[in-house]
Structure 1
Amino acid sequence: MDVRVGDVLELKKQHPCGSREWLVLRVGMDFKLRCAGCGHELMLPRSKAEKNIKKIKRNEGPET
């Protein structure tokens, strides 16, 4: 799965604050994610994160 830093992930389960969207801060064996609703940050193993991804929203800017 192609997940990059700066992507916004929509996960299957929502965070207790009510948001389903998470910003990707770090990619590797673990993902570091920040909740778009409350700003809570967490580290999640890649396998668990990829299993729970519903949609990837990528903000593609102009290529230079």
Structure 2
Amino acid sequence: MKEFNLGDIVEMKKTHPCGSNRWEVIRIGADIKIKCVQCGRIVMLPRSKFEKNMKKLLMINN
């Protein structure tokens, strides 16, 4: 299981149509809600799909 917290910036495998692949984690639970850093679009994914598609953790929010 990958470790991430609220406010962390993650890089996803696929790019968003706006051209960015960086997302901010804004909700954690059974589903993960993420917000595109570039355009602000909010997407909710099941935790399993999020962990599978997350490439790496870029910035950790303290």
TM-score with structure 2 setting the length: 0.90
Counterpart check, 1:7 vs 2:15: no
Higher relative contact order, structure no. (Cα contacts within 8 Å, ≥ 6 residues apart): 2
- Given that 2:5 and 2:61 are in contact with CA atoms closer than 8 Å, whether structure 1 keeps it comes out as no
Which 4+ stretches in 1 moved above 4 angstroms? none
Q: How many residues align?
A: 61
In structure 1, stretches of 5+ residues that fail to align are none
Larger radius of gyration: 1
SS of structure 2 residue aligned to 1:31: strand
In structure 2, stretches of 5+ residues that fail to align are none
Q: Deviations over 1:17-58 (max 9, x none)?
A: 000000000111110100011000011100000001111023
